[in-house]
Structure 1
């Protein structure tokens, strides 16, 4: 029963790759710009054994982890503060709505002036972009908590700290984890984009830029893209498995 969806997904993926391979080899598209999947696979195998590229992977991976962790801490903290303090929420809500849609890549020149062109620039921009989904999901989760359960905890004079640990945090955890899963992709996109645009940085984005602009190796560029997509899928699957394993109440409703 569970293998049928996986087989359908693999069939669709195989069909897409086959069509891509056929178009690249038929001459309908220029192989210099759109190399076939077989060439991209060989390029990916070369990258795996390249020690210099490993340095780029480590830089992007550590920055990804730091930026996602920072965004999670900041987003959950701000979400709890705004959710628990209605006055603060009314005051800061317009600022949040103004900052949330700002494209982080456009802030690169300002970030370079303030922070320089080292790793802290891409980490700060990525954390800035990834904070908002976590903040919004945390606020939404607090709004969805069953009011009667909150009233019961107050009637029995349960201390605020216990209410936070036993009731609020378990209730909002599935929502927050969903926001984190969304933010991991945003963080990776901003990191690679910043590395791509800021010269002299270390990371897979800068490596892809050099291979594409100076060497014309689009097979390596697409291999880097495939590697980043695979890493993000692996992280998302791990977070999804953790949610199913450690938050069984999420499938029955976040406020159950």
Structure 2
């Protein structure tokens, strides 16, 4: 019932936003070349669904997103487990991590382009760099939140450090890792589209938006491309939320429990 209410409220919010944009466009409060009515933008977005060239570009963006996010997971999860499990390594790497983390990935486009050329490799490298951090820090944080009693119990029965990590710490950290992947998935999509727009090379949804922005009357196409980016982000998030519910049904947010009520009980 709660999920159904959330879906209804979300749909209502979307309809209100579209209605407001439609009213502003139809009333002439903003010139149509700057803000076309929402109905025209949505019609153009649906029209693009039948354009094979456009869909090929969307596929290129999704492929770069998936490769970058997959590499980020492959790097961040083992590294996070290492940093969270070995305090000496964490202390040694902390300064380097804190130096690299604030660097904006978009600012690295010229350097990465010179090193890797103008292709998918550049997008994947930048997506991977930006997506590593949420997964890495969520993994370290999740290890820190592991129940110490469970770890001490296994140690008392003679289990070694690796067994404790695999049997207790990793399962307890998995929901935190999944939350980091959800955050990184959104970051990866933003970087995929932004890199294409700013770099101006290759193919993808960002290239379509950038080229439409240079056209004389391309505002409608730009907004239609933005709609596609938003829909991709929404679909990705819904799939990841569904996966979390199936894999970790015991967590309070997926049981639908109220954390305050649970604490009171």
Residue 244 of structure 1 corresponds to which residue in structure 2?
245
SS in structure 2 of the partner of residue 139 of structure 1:
helix
Residue 73 of structure 1 corresponds to which residue in structure 2?
74
**Structure 2 segments unaligned to the other structure (5+ residues):** 255-265
**Structure 1 segments unaligned to the other structure (5+ residues):** none
Residue 188 of structure 2 corresponds to which residue in structure 1?
187
Moved more, 65-74 or 12-21: 12-21
User: How large is the RMSD of aligned CA atoms in angstroms?
Assistant: 1.6
Residue 205 of structure 1 corresponds to which residue in structure 2?
206
SS in structure 2 of the partner of residue 197 of structure 1:
helix
Q: Distance in 1 between matches of 2:175 and 2:233?
A: 19
Moved more, 81-90 or 162-171: 162-171
Q: CA deviation at 1:109?
A: 0.6
Matches within 5 A, 1:45-60: 45-60=46-61
Q: CA deviation at 1:248?
A: 1.9
Q: Distance in 2 between matches of 1:132 and 1:4?
A: 33
Q: CA deviation at 1:31?
A: 1.2
Moved more, 85-94 or 157-166: 157-166
TM-score of the pair, normalised by structure 1: 0.94
Q: 8 Å contact 2:143–2:170 — kept in the other structure?
A: no
Q: Deviations over 1:77-105 (max 9, x none)?
A: 11011112211110111111111111100
**Structure 1 residue runs of 4+, over 4 Å off?**
none
Matches within 5 A, 1:124-203: 124-203=125-204
Residue 115 of structure 1 corresponds to which residue in structure 2?
116
Moved more, 124-133 or 4-13: 4-13
Q: Distance in 2 between matches of 1:186 and 1:89?
A: 25
SS in structure 1 of the partner of residue 250 of structure 2:
helix
Q: CA deviation at 1:199?
A: 2.3
Q: Distance in 2 between matches of 1:102 and 1:149?
A: 38
Aligned residues: 253
TM-score of the pair, normalised by structure 2: 0.91
